[in-house]
Structure 1
Amino acid sequence: MKKITIGVATHKPYQMPSDSMYLPVQSGSEFHPKIEEYSQDNIGDHISGKNKNYSELTALYWIWKNVSADYKGLAHYRRHFSKDHNVNIFTQGTFNEVLDRATLESKLEKADIVLPKKRNYYIESIESHYNHTHYEQDLVVTRDVLEKIYPDYVEKYDEVLKRKSAHMFNMFVMSEEKFNSYCEWLFSVLFILEENLDISEYNDFHARVFGRVSEILLDVWIDKNNYSYEEIPVIFMENRSWLEKGTKFLKAKFKISRY
Protein backbone atom coordinates (compact mmCIF):
# COMPACT_ATOMS: atom_id res chain seq x y z
CA MET A 1 0.00 0.00 0.00
CA LYS A 2 1.31 3.43 -0.96
CA LYS A 3 1.83 5.84 1.92
CA ILE A 4 -0.34 8.94 1.49
CA THR A 5 -0.13 11.99 3.73
CA ILE A 6 -2.51 14.89 3.32
CA GLY A 7 -1.76 17.69 5.73
CA VAL A 8 -4.82 19.45 7.13
CA ALA A 9 -3.79 23.02 7.90
CA THR A 10 -5.48 24.45 10.97
CA HIS A 11 -4.67 27.04 13.60
CA LYS A 12 -7.14 25.71 16.19
CA PRO A 13 -8.64 22.43 17.44
CA TYR A 14 -11.22 21.16 14.95
CA GLN A 15 -12.84 17.92 13.87
CA MET A 16 -10.59 15.99 11.51
CA PRO A 17 -11.29 13.29 8.90
CA SER A 18 -11.09 9.76 10.29
CA ASP A 19 -8.98 8.32 7.45
CA SER A 20 -5.38 7.79 8.61
CA MET A 21 -3.96 9.48 5.50
CA TYR A 22 -4.92 12.87 6.99
CA LEU A 23 -2.35 14.60 9.19
CA PRO A 24 -3.51 17.63 11.22
CA VAL A 25 -0.85 20.34 11.07
CA GLN A 26 -1.09 23.37 13.32
CA SER A 27 -0.16 26.24 11.01
CA GLY A 28 1.32 29.36 12.57
CA SER A 29 2.34 27.41 15.66
CA GLU A 30 4.70 30.23 16.55
CA PHE A 31 1.66 32.38 17.38
CA HIS A 32 -0.81 29.92 18.96
CA PRO A 33 -0.99 27.69 22.05
CA LYS A 34 0.28 24.22 21.19
CA ILE A 35 -2.34 21.63 20.20
CA GLU A 36 -0.77 18.47 21.57
CA GLU A 37 -2.42 15.95 19.24
CA TYR A 38 -1.46 17.87 16.08
CA SER A 39 1.88 18.26 14.32
CA GLN A 40 3.27 21.76 14.74
CA ASP A 41 4.68 23.70 11.81
CA ASN A 42 7.45 25.25 13.94
CA ILE A 43 9.35 21.99 14.46
CA GLY A 44 12.36 21.11 12.33
CA ASP A 45 12.91 23.09 9.12
CA HIS A 46 10.04 25.59 9.08
CA ILE A 47 8.73 29.07 8.23
CA SER A 48 6.00 29.17 10.88
CA GLY A 49 6.89 32.77 11.73
CA LYS A 50 5.69 33.85 8.25
CA ASN A 51 2.15 32.54 8.82
CA LYS A 52 0.50 35.96 8.94
CA ASN A 53 1.61 36.53 5.36
CA TYR A 54 1.72 32.95 4.05
CA SER A 55 -1.40 31.44 5.69
CA GLU A 56 -1.62 27.66 5.11
CA LEU A 57 1.63 27.72 3.15
CA THR A 58 3.59 27.48 6.41
CA ALA A 59 1.97 24.04 6.84
CA LEU A 60 2.77 23.21 3.21
CA TYR A 61 6.42 24.15 3.76
CA TRP A 62 6.56 22.02 6.90
CA ILE A 63 5.16 18.99 5.07
CA TRP A 64 7.67 19.52 2.26
CA LYS A 65 10.64 19.61 4.61
CA ASN A 66 9.60 17.20 7.36
CA VAL A 67 7.25 14.52 5.96
CA SER A 68 8.09 11.61 3.68
CA ALA A 69 5.36 9.70 1.84
CA ASP A 70 4.68 8.27 -1.61
CA TYR A 71 2.00 10.92 -2.12
CA LYS A 72 1.64 14.21 -0.28
CA GLY A 73 -1.03 16.86 -0.29
CA LEU A 74 -2.71 19.72 1.50
CA ALA A 75 -6.27 20.40 2.65
CA HIS A 76 -7.79 22.87 5.11
CA TYR A 77 -9.74 22.37 8.30
CA ARG A 78 -12.75 24.16 6.82
CA ARG A 79 -12.30 22.85 3.27
CA HIS A 80 -11.89 19.25 2.16
CA PHE A 81 -11.96 17.20 -1.00
CA SER A 82 -15.19 15.24 -1.27
CA LYS A 83 -15.75 11.65 -2.37
CA ASP A 84 -19.28 12.61 -3.39
CA HIS A 85 -19.41 14.19 -6.86
CA ASN A 86 -22.92 15.50 -6.25
CA VAL A 87 -21.91 18.00 -3.55
CA ASN A 88 -21.31 21.65 -4.35
CA ILE A 89 -19.77 24.68 -2.67
CA PHE A 90 -23.15 26.15 -1.78
CA THR A 91 -24.01 23.52 0.84
CA GLN A 92 -22.36 22.73 4.15
CA GLY A 93 -20.46 19.44 3.99
CA THR A 94 -20.23 16.60 6.48
CA PHE A 95 -17.22 14.53 7.43
CA ASN A 96 -18.90 11.44 5.99
CA GLU A 97 -18.45 13.06 2.57
CA VAL A 98 -14.71 13.73 2.92
CA LEU A 99 -12.45 12.07 0.37
CA ASP A 100 -11.26 8.60 1.42
CA ARG A 101 -8.18 6.62 0.41
CA ALA A 102 -9.91 4.30 -2.05
CA THR A 103 -11.48 7.16 -3.99
CA LEU A 104 -8.23 9.11 -4.01
CA GLU A 105 -6.19 6.14 -5.22
CA SER A 106 -8.59 5.61 -8.11
CA LYS A 107 -8.02 9.24 -9.15
CA LEU A 108 -4.25 9.03 -8.83
CA GLU A 109 -4.25 6.03 -11.17
CA LYS A 110 -5.64 8.30 -13.90
CA ALA A 111 -3.59 11.48 -13.49
CA ASP A 112 -0.47 13.06 -12.03
CA ILE A 113 -2.27 15.38 -9.62
CA VAL A 114 -5.61 15.63 -7.82
CA LEU A 115 -7.05 19.15 -7.67
CA PRO A 116 -10.25 20.90 -6.57
CA LYS A 117 -12.81 21.60 -9.25
CA LYS A 118 -12.03 24.93 -10.87
CA ARG A 119 -13.61 28.00 -9.38
CA ASN A 120 -15.36 30.06 -12.05
CA TYR A 121 -15.54 33.85 -11.94
CA TYR A 122 -17.67 34.18 -15.10
CA ILE A 123 -17.69 37.98 -15.42
CA GLU A 124 -14.03 38.57 -14.59
CA SER A 125 -10.62 37.21 -15.41
CA ILE A 126 -8.37 35.90 -12.65
CA GLU A 127 -6.29 39.05 -12.99
CA SER A 128 -9.17 41.54 -12.88
CA HIS A 129 -10.79 39.75 -9.95
CA TYR A 130 -7.54 39.82 -8.01
CA ASN A 131 -6.93 43.49 -8.78
CA HIS A 132 -10.45 44.45 -7.75
CA THR A 133 -10.20 42.64 -4.43
CA HIS A 134 -6.54 43.03 -3.54
CA TYR A 135 -3.61 45.11 -4.85
CA GLU A 136 -2.52 45.18 -8.47
CA GLN A 137 1.14 45.47 -7.51
CA ASP A 138 1.05 41.92 -6.08
CA LEU A 139 0.65 40.39 -9.53
CA VAL A 140 2.92 42.91 -11.26
CA VAL A 141 5.84 42.22 -8.92
CA THR A 142 5.19 38.47 -9.14
CA ARG A 143 5.59 38.71 -12.90
CA ASP A 144 8.82 40.68 -12.43
CA VAL A 145 10.16 37.93 -10.17
CA LEU A 146 9.30 35.24 -12.72
CA GLU A 147 11.01 37.22 -15.46
CA LYS A 148 14.19 37.30 -13.37
CA ILE A 149 14.38 33.71 -12.14
CA TYR A 150 11.98 31.62 -14.26
CA PRO A 151 11.50 33.54 -17.54
CA ASP A 152 10.14 30.46 -19.30
CA TYR A 153 7.11 30.58 -16.97
CA VAL A 154 6.08 34.16 -17.81
CA GLU A 155 4.06 33.31 -20.90
CA LYS A 156 2.04 30.71 -18.97
CA TYR A 157 1.61 33.16 -16.08
CA ASP A 158 0.11 35.75 -18.43
CA GLU A 159 -2.15 33.11 -19.93
CA VAL A 160 -3.46 31.94 -16.55
CA LEU A 161 -4.24 35.51 -15.47
CA LYS A 162 -6.46 35.97 -18.52
CA ARG A 163 -8.61 32.95 -17.70
CA LYS A 164 -11.92 33.13 -15.86
CA SER A 165 -11.42 30.00 -13.78
CA ALA A 166 -8.66 28.52 -11.61
CA HIS A 167 -7.85 25.78 -9.12
CA MET A 168 -8.02 27.67 -5.85
CA PHE A 169 -7.58 27.03 -2.10
CA ASN A 170 -3.98 25.66 -2.26
CA MET A 171 -5.39 22.13 -2.21
CA PHE A 172 -3.82 19.23 -4.11
CA VAL A 173 -2.39 15.71 -3.87
CA MET A 174 0.57 14.51 -5.93
CA SER A 175 3.57 12.20 -5.77
CA GLU A 176 6.29 13.14 -3.34
CA GLU A 177 8.65 13.85 -6.24
CA LYS A 178 6.24 16.33 -7.82
CA PHE A 179 5.20 17.76 -4.47
CA ASN A 180 8.81 18.51 -3.56
CA SER A 181 9.54 19.91 -7.01
CA TYR A 182 6.52 22.21 -6.81
CA CYS A 183 7.42 23.46 -3.34
CA GLU A 184 11.00 24.16 -4.36
CA TRP A 185 9.76 26.21 -7.31
CA LEU A 186 6.94 27.94 -5.43
CA PHE A 187 8.88 29.04 -2.38
CA SER A 188 11.83 30.23 -4.44
CA VAL A 189 9.38 32.59 -6.17
CA LEU A 190 7.59 33.66 -3.00
CA PHE A 191 10.72 34.37 -0.97
CA ILE A 192 12.03 36.74 -3.64
CA LEU A 193 8.56 38.25 -4.02
CA GLU A 194 8.54 38.87 -0.28
CA GLU A 195 11.82 40.76 -0.59
CA ASN A 196 10.51 42.99 -3.38
CA LEU A 197 6.87 43.62 -2.47
CA ASP A 198 6.11 46.41 -0.01
CA ILE A 199 3.19 45.28 2.17
CA SER A 200 3.89 47.65 5.06
CA GLU A 201 0.54 49.40 4.60
CA TYR A 202 -1.53 46.22 4.13
CA ASN A 203 -4.12 45.33 6.74
CA ASP A 204 -4.25 41.80 8.18
CA PHE A 205 -6.54 40.58 5.40
CA HIS A 206 -4.41 41.79 2.51
CA ALA A 207 -1.16 40.88 4.28
CA ARG A 208 -1.88 37.21 3.53
CA VAL A 209 -0.76 38.04 0.02
CA PHE A 210 1.73 35.21 -0.53
CA GLY A 211 -0.88 32.58 0.21
CA ARG A 212 -3.18 34.18 -2.36
CA VAL A 213 -0.57 34.58 -5.09
CA SER A 214 0.36 30.94 -4.67
CA GLU A 215 -3.17 29.90 -5.65
CA ILE A 216 -2.54 31.42 -9.07
CA LEU A 217 0.98 30.05 -9.35
CA LEU A 218 -0.20 26.45 -8.91
CA ASP A 219 -1.95 26.42 -12.29
CA VAL A 220 1.07 28.12 -13.87
CA TRP A 221 3.37 25.36 -12.65
CA ILE A 222 1.01 22.53 -13.60
CA ASP A 223 0.32 23.82 -17.10
CA LYS A 224 3.93 24.75 -17.83
CA ASN A 225 5.03 21.21 -16.95
CA ASN A 226 2.10 19.66 -18.80
CA TYR A 227 0.96 17.54 -15.84
CA SER A 228 -2.37 15.76 -16.05
CA TYR A 229 -4.91 16.17 -13.28
CA GLU A 230 -8.22 14.89 -11.96
CA GLU A 231 -10.65 17.32 -10.34
CA ILE A 232 -12.63 16.59 -7.18
CA PRO A 233 -15.36 18.75 -5.61
CA VAL A 234 -14.55 20.72 -2.48
CA ILE A 235 -16.88 20.80 0.50
CA PHE A 236 -16.98 23.51 3.13
CA MET A 237 -17.41 22.39 6.71
CA GLU A 238 -19.04 25.62 7.88
CA ASN A 239 -21.98 27.66 6.65
CA ARG A 240 -21.04 30.48 4.30
CA SER A 241 -22.95 33.68 3.61
CA TRP A 242 -23.12 33.68 -0.19
CA LEU A 243 -25.19 36.86 -0.19
CA GLU A 244 -22.48 38.64 1.77
CA LYS A 245 -19.70 37.23 -0.43
CA GLY A 246 -21.60 38.14 -3.58
CA THR A 247 -22.19 41.68 -2.36
CA LYS A 248 -18.50 42.12 -1.54
CA PHE A 249 -17.56 40.68 -4.93
CA LEU A 250 -19.76 43.17 -6.81
CA LYS A 251 -18.63 46.12 -4.69
CA ALA A 252 -15.02 45.23 -5.42
CA LYS A 253 -15.66 44.77 -9.14
CA PHE A 254 -17.33 48.14 -9.49
CA LYS A 255 -14.72 49.79 -7.27
CA ILE A 256 -17.16 50.76 -4.53
CA SER A 257 -14.95 49.17 -1.90
CA ARG A 258 -12.20 46.55 -1.61
CA TYR A 259 -12.65 43.27 0.20
Structure 2
Amino acid sequence: MNNTKVIICAHKKVQLPQHPFFLPIQAGAALHDLISEYQPDSEGDNISKKNPHFCELTCHYWAWKNLKDVSVIGLNHYRRYFDFTRKWPQFSADKRFVSTEEFFKQDFVFPDLEMLLKKYDIILPVARHWRVSNTQQYADYHIAKDWEMLRQIIKERHPEYMRSFEKTMDHSNKSVGYNMFITHWKFFDAYSEWLFDILFEVEKRVRPIDDPVQSRIYGYMSERLINVFCEHHHLRIKHIPLIMPLDGEHTEYNVSNYRATFRRLMNDVRYHFQVK
Protein backbone atom coordinates (compact mmCIF):
# COMPACT_ATOMS: atom_id res chain seq x y z
CA MET A 1 0.00 0.00 0.00
CA ASN A 2 2.35 2.72 -1.24
CA ASN A 3 -0.46 5.28 -0.96
CA THR A 4 -0.60 4.81 2.83
CA LYS A 5 0.62 7.61 5.10
CA VAL A 6 0.80 7.44 8.88
CA ILE A 7 1.92 10.82 10.12
CA ILE A 8 4.04 11.12 13.26
CA CYS A 9 3.38 14.38 15.10
CA ALA A 10 6.49 15.77 16.81
CA HIS A 11 7.38 19.22 18.11
CA LYS A 12 11.08 18.45 18.58
CA LYS A 13 13.80 16.39 16.92
CA VAL A 14 13.84 12.87 18.32
CA GLN A 15 14.69 9.38 17.12
CA LEU A 16 11.75 7.98 15.17
CA PRO A 17 10.94 4.52 13.82
CA GLN A 18 11.56 4.06 10.12
CA HIS A 19 8.94 2.68 7.75
CA PRO A 20 7.74 3.69 4.26
CA PHE A 21 4.30 4.49 5.72
CA PHE A 22 5.60 6.98 8.29
CA LEU A 23 5.67 10.73 7.58
CA PRO A 24 7.12 12.87 10.42
CA ILE A 25 5.42 16.26 10.70
CA GLN A 26 6.67 19.11 12.85
CA ALA A 27 3.79 20.36 14.99
CA GLY A 28 3.59 24.12 15.47
CA ALA A 29 6.38 24.73 12.96
CA ALA A 30 5.24 28.32 12.41
CA LEU A 31 6.15 29.09 16.02
CA HIS A 32 9.58 27.44 16.16
CA ASP A 33 12.77 26.85 14.21
CA LEU A 34 12.22 24.30 11.45
CA ILE A 35 13.46 20.73 11.80
CA SER A 36 14.97 19.77 8.47
CA GLU A 37 14.05 16.08 8.64
CA TYR A 38 10.36 16.77 9.28
CA GLN A 39 7.55 18.07 7.11
CA PRO A 40 6.50 21.40 8.69
CA ASP A 41 2.81 21.82 9.38
CA SER A 42 3.20 25.48 8.36
CA GLU A 43 3.28 24.95 4.59
CA GLY A 44 0.30 25.24 2.27
CA ASP A 45 -3.15 25.47 3.83
CA ASN A 46 -2.41 25.24 7.55
CA ILE A 47 -3.32 26.19 11.12
CA SER A 48 0.20 25.78 12.49
CA LYS A 49 0.02 28.90 14.68
CA LYS A 50 -2.93 27.40 16.54
CA ASN A 51 -0.79 24.52 17.84
CA PRO A 52 -0.71 25.61 21.52
CA HIS A 53 -4.48 25.12 21.67
CA PHE A 54 -5.09 22.56 18.88
CA CYS A 55 -2.12 20.29 19.71
CA GLU A 56 -1.61 17.46 17.19
CA LEU A 57 -4.65 18.67 15.25
CA THR A 58 -2.41 21.16 13.41
CA CYS A 59 -0.65 18.13 11.86
CA HIS A 60 -4.01 16.46 11.24
CA TYR A 61 -5.25 19.58 9.47
CA TRP A 62 -2.08 19.88 7.37
CA ALA A 63 -2.39 16.27 6.21
CA TRP A 64 -6.07 16.74 5.38
CA LYS A 65 -5.48 19.86 3.30
CA ASN A 66 -2.15 19.08 1.66
CA LEU A 67 -1.61 15.35 1.15
CA LYS A 68 -2.64 14.05 -2.26
CA ASP A 69 -3.37 10.59 -3.69
CA VAL A 70 -3.51 8.92 -0.27
CA SER A 71 -5.97 6.09 0.28
CA VAL A 72 -5.13 5.15 3.88
CA ILE A 73 -4.19 7.79 6.46
CA GLY A 74 -3.16 7.51 10.10
CA LEU A 75 -1.88 9.62 12.96
CA ASN A 76 0.70 8.68 15.62
CA HIS A 77 2.60 10.75 18.17
CA TYR A 78 6.36 10.64 18.51
CA ARG A 79 5.89 8.91 21.87
CA ARG A 80 2.76 6.88 21.05
CA TYR A 81 2.38 4.17 18.40
CA PHE A 82 -0.10 1.41 17.72
CA ASP A 83 1.25 -1.83 19.19
CA PHE A 84 0.34 -4.38 16.55
CA THR A 85 2.51 -7.04 18.26
CA ARG A 86 0.45 -7.10 21.45
CA LYS A 87 -1.32 -10.42 22.08
CA TRP A 88 -4.98 -10.40 23.09
CA PRO A 89 -5.47 -6.67 22.41
CA GLN A 90 -9.13 -6.84 23.47
CA PHE A 91 -7.98 -7.62 27.02
CA SER A 92 -4.98 -5.30 27.06
CA ALA A 93 -4.54 -2.00 28.85
CA ASP A 94 -4.86 0.96 26.51
CA LYS A 95 -1.07 1.51 26.61
CA ARG A 96 2.21 0.06 27.82
CA PHE A 97 5.56 1.71 28.39
CA VAL A 98 8.94 0.57 27.09
CA SER A 99 12.36 2.16 27.18
CA THR A 100 13.43 4.01 24.07
CA GLU A 101 16.34 1.61 23.74
CA GLU A 102 14.06 -1.44 23.74
CA PHE A 103 11.62 0.16 21.30
CA PHE A 104 14.30 0.82 18.69
CA LYS A 105 15.92 -2.61 18.94
CA GLN A 106 13.43 -3.95 16.41
CA ASP A 107 11.99 -2.53 13.21
CA PHE A 108 8.45 -1.21 13.40
CA VAL A 109 6.10 -3.63 11.66
CA PHE A 110 2.61 -2.94 10.39
CA PRO A 111 0.09 -5.71 9.74
CA ASP A 112 -1.50 -6.08 6.32
CA LEU A 113 -3.48 -2.85 6.54
CA GLU A 114 -5.22 -3.49 3.25
CA MET A 115 -6.74 -6.71 4.56
CA LEU A 116 -7.43 -5.28 8.02
CA LEU A 117 -9.25 -2.27 6.59
CA LYS A 118 -11.46 -4.51 4.49
CA LYS A 119 -12.80 -6.04 7.69
CA TYR A 120 -12.80 -2.81 9.70
CA ASP A 121 -13.37 0.84 8.81
CA ILE A 122 -10.99 2.39 11.32
CA ILE A 123 -8.23 1.43 13.75
CA LEU A 124 -8.41 3.22 17.10
CA PRO A 125 -6.71 2.85 20.47
CA VAL A 126 -8.23 0.64 23.14
CA ALA A 127 -11.03 2.49 24.93
CA ARG A 128 -10.72 3.69 28.50
CA HIS A 129 -13.52 2.79 30.91
CA TRP A 130 -14.23 5.55 33.43
CA ARG A 131 -16.17 5.37 36.67
CA VAL A 132 -18.41 8.16 35.40
CA SER A 133 -19.90 9.16 32.07
CA ASN A 134 -17.64 10.74 29.48
CA THR A 135 -19.44 14.05 29.95
CA GLN A 136 -18.81 13.94 33.69
CA GLN A 137 -15.20 12.86 33.17
CA TYR A 138 -14.61 15.93 30.99
CA ALA A 139 -16.19 18.17 33.63
CA ASP A 140 -14.02 16.60 36.36
CA TYR A 141 -10.76 17.22 34.51
CA HIS A 142 -11.52 20.23 32.32
CA ILE A 143 -14.05 23.10 32.19
CA ALA A 144 -17.68 22.00 32.21
CA LYS A 145 -19.13 25.15 30.63
CA ASP A 146 -16.83 24.72 27.62
CA TRP A 147 -18.26 21.24 27.10
CA GLU A 148 -21.78 22.59 27.21
CA MET A 149 -20.85 25.17 24.58
CA LEU A 150 -19.54 22.31 22.42
CA ARG A 151 -22.87 20.55 22.89
CA GLN A 152 -24.76 23.69 21.86
CA ILE A 153 -22.68 24.14 18.71
CA ILE A 154 -23.23 20.53 17.62
CA LYS A 155 -26.95 21.02 18.23
CA GLU A 156 -26.92 24.14 16.06
CA ARG A 157 -24.62 23.06 13.22
CA HIS A 158 -24.99 19.27 13.14
CA PRO A 159 -28.22 18.34 14.94
CA GLU A 160 -28.25 14.93 13.27
CA TYR A 161 -25.26 14.01 15.48
CA MET A 162 -26.96 14.81 18.79
CA ARG A 163 -28.28 11.32 19.36
CA SER A 164 -24.79 9.87 18.90
CA PHE A 165 -23.28 12.62 21.08
CA GLU A 166 -25.67 11.88 23.92
CA LYS A 167 -25.24 8.12 23.57
CA THR A 168 -21.42 8.13 23.57
CA MET A 169 -20.81 11.05 25.93
CA ASP A 170 -23.80 11.39 28.31
CA HIS A 171 -24.77 7.73 28.56
CA SER A 172 -21.47 5.87 28.27
CA ASN A 173 -18.28 5.55 30.29
CA LYS A 174 -16.17 4.15 27.43
CA SER A 175 -14.07 6.46 25.31
CA VAL A 176 -11.10 6.33 22.94
CA GLY A 177 -8.51 9.05 23.36
CA TYR A 178 -5.17 10.32 22.04
CA ASN A 179 -6.50 11.59 18.65
CA MET A 180 -4.91 8.55 16.99
CA PHE A 181 -6.34 6.49 14.15
CA ILE A 182 -5.68 4.67 10.89
CA THR A 183 -8.50 4.70 8.37
CA HIS A 184 -9.57 5.10 4.77
CA TRP A 185 -9.16 8.59 3.35
CA LYS A 186 -12.92 8.89 2.72
CA PHE A 187 -13.65 8.55 6.44
CA PHE A 188 -10.76 10.85 7.36
CA ASP A 189 -12.01 13.47 4.94
CA ALA A 190 -15.58 13.34 6.26
CA TYR A 191 -14.42 13.35 9.86
CA SER A 192 -12.06 16.28 9.31
CA GLU A 193 -14.74 18.35 7.59
CA TRP A 194 -17.13 17.78 10.49
CA LEU A 195 -14.52 18.13 13.25
CA PHE A 196 -12.95 21.40 12.18
CA ASP A 197 -16.30 22.98 11.39
CA ILE A 198 -17.24 22.37 15.02
CA LEU A 199 -13.91 23.28 16.61
CA PHE A 200 -13.47 26.52 14.67
CA GLU A 201 -16.90 27.59 15.89
CA VAL A 202 -15.98 26.62 19.47
CA GLU A 203 -12.83 28.71 19.04
CA LYS A 204 -14.96 31.75 18.21
CA ARG A 205 -17.05 31.38 21.36
CA VAL A 206 -14.65 29.89 23.91
CA ARG A 207 -11.19 31.36 24.39
CA PRO A 208 -8.54 29.19 26.04
CA ILE A 209 -7.56 30.17 29.56
CA ASP A 210 -3.96 30.87 30.52
CA ASP A 211 -3.15 27.42 31.86
CA PRO A 212 -0.63 24.91 30.45
CA VAL A 213 -3.17 22.07 30.57
CA GLN A 214 -6.57 23.65 30.04
CA SER A 215 -5.32 25.83 27.18
CA ARG A 216 -5.23 22.68 25.01
CA ILE A 217 -9.02 22.75 24.94
CA TYR A 218 -9.66 21.92 21.27
CA GLY A 219 -7.35 18.91 21.36
CA TYR A 220 -9.18 17.53 24.40
CA MET A 221 -12.55 18.00 22.73
CA SER A 222 -11.49 16.26 19.54
CA GLU A 223 -10.36 13.19 21.51
CA ARG A 224 -13.98 12.73 22.52
CA LEU A 225 -15.53 13.72 19.21
CA ILE A 226 -13.99 10.88 17.22
CA ASN A 227 -16.14 8.53 19.33
CA VAL A 228 -19.24 10.48 18.32
CA PHE A 229 -18.34 10.39 14.63
CA CYS A 230 -17.71 6.64 14.63
CA GLU A 231 -20.98 5.96 16.42
CA HIS A 232 -22.99 8.17 14.07
CA HIS A 233 -21.58 6.48 10.97
CA HIS A 234 -21.64 2.98 12.46
CA LEU A 235 -17.96 2.49 11.68
CA ARG A 236 -16.47 -0.94 12.31
CA ILE A 237 -13.66 -0.35 14.80
CA LYS A 238 -10.53 -2.40 15.44
CA HIS A 239 -9.09 -1.43 18.81
CA ILE A 240 -5.31 -1.68 19.13
CA PRO A 241 -3.37 -0.82 22.31
CA LEU A 242 -0.53 1.68 22.23
CA ILE A 243 3.16 1.37 22.93
CA MET A 244 4.95 4.37 24.43
CA PRO A 245 8.75 4.58 24.21
CA LEU A 246 10.19 6.80 26.93
CA ASP A 247 13.66 7.58 28.18
CA GLY A 248 14.22 6.00 31.57
CA GLU A 249 12.30 3.17 33.19
CA HIS A 250 8.51 3.39 33.29
CA THR A 251 7.56 -0.28 33.15
CA GLU A 252 6.25 -0.11 36.74
CA TYR A 253 3.19 1.60 35.27
CA ASN A 254 2.41 -1.35 33.00
CA VAL A 255 -0.46 -3.63 33.98
CA SER A 256 -1.21 -7.19 32.95
CA ASN A 257 -4.12 -8.12 30.71
CA TYR A 258 -5.83 -9.63 33.76
CA ARG A 259 -5.49 -6.44 35.79
CA ALA A 260 -6.54 -4.23 32.86
CA THR A 261 -9.67 -6.33 32.27
CA PHE A 262 -10.52 -6.38 35.98
CA ARG A 263 -10.13 -2.60 36.21
CA ARG A 264 -12.46 -2.04 33.24
CA LEU A 265 -15.08 -4.38 34.71
CA MET A 266 -14.94 -2.69 38.11
CA ASN A 267 -15.27 0.76 36.57
CA ASP A 268 -18.22 -0.45 34.49
CA VAL A 269 -19.90 -1.79 37.64
CA ARG A 270 -19.34 1.50 39.52
CA TYR A 271 -20.67 3.48 36.58
CA HIS A 272 -23.81 1.39 36.10
CA PHE A 273 -24.64 1.50 39.82
CA GLN A 274 -24.36 5.30 39.71
CA VAL A 275 -26.69 5.42 36.71
CA LYS A 276 -29.27 3.28 38.48
Please classify the TM superposition score into its range, dividing by the shorter chain length.
0.7 to 0.9
State the AA in 2 paired with 1:12.
K
2 CA distance for matches of 1:156 and 1:98?
39
Counterpart for residue 231 of structure 2: 223
Counterpart check, 1:147 vs 2:148: no
- Partners of 1:2 and 1:179 in 2: CA distance: 18
Give the Å deviation of 1:147: 0.8
> CA contact under 8 A between 1:29 and 1:40: conserved in structure 2?
yes
* CA separation of 1:234 and 1:157: change in aligned 2, threshold 3 A: same
Asked if the contact 1:72–1:175 (Cα under 8 Å) also holds between the matched residues in 2, the reply is yes
Kindly indicate whether the alpha-carbon contact (under 8 Å) linking 1:80 and 1:99 is maintained by their aligned counterparts in 2. no
Question: What is the aligned partner in structure 2 of residue 9 from structure 1?
Answer: 9
Q: How many correspondences in the alignment? A: 241
Query: Which of residues 197, 213, 237 is equivalent to 2:245?
Result: 237
Structure 1 unaligned blocks of 5 or more: 244-259
Q: Is the 8 A contact 1:50 1:58 kept in 2?
A: yes
> Which residue of the partner structure matches residue 137 of structure 1?
145
Q: Secondary structure at the match of 1:8?
A: strand
Shift of 1:204: 2.2
Q: Which residue of 1 aligns with 2:84?
A: 83
- Return the match for 1:117 from 120, 126, 129: 126
Worse-matched range after superposition: 83-92 or 229-238: 83-92
- Unmatched runs of 5 consecutive residues or more in structure 2: 255-276
TM-score of the two chains, using structure 1 as the length reference: 0.87
Deviation, 1:73, is 1.2
Deviation readout 1:197-256 (Å, 9 max, x if unpaired) = 133x3412101000010011001011101111211111111255859xxxxxxxxxxxxx
| Residues 95, 141 of structure 1: alpha-carbon distance in 2 compared, 3 angstrom cutoff | farther
Q: Please state how far the C-alpha of 1:66 moved relative to its aligned partner.
A: 0.7
What is the TM-score when the length of structure 2 is the normalising length? 0.82
The 1:90–1:21 alpha-carbon spacing in structure 2 relative to 1, beyond 3 Å, is closer
Instruction: Report if the CA contact (8 A) 1:48-1:58 is conserved.
Output: yes
Q: Could you say which residue in structure 2 is the equivalent of 1:108?
A: 117
Q: In structure 2, how many angstroms separate the alpha carbons of the residues matched to 1:71 and 1:148?
A: 31
Q: How far apart are 1:109 and its partner, in Å?
A: 2.5
**Matches of residues 1-259 of structure 1 in structure 2 within 5 Å?**
1-68=1-68, 69-86=70-87, 88=93, 89-92=95-98, 94-95=103-104, 100-121=109-130, 123-161=131-169, 162-199=171-208, 201-238=209-246, 242=253
- SS of residue paired to 2:114: helix
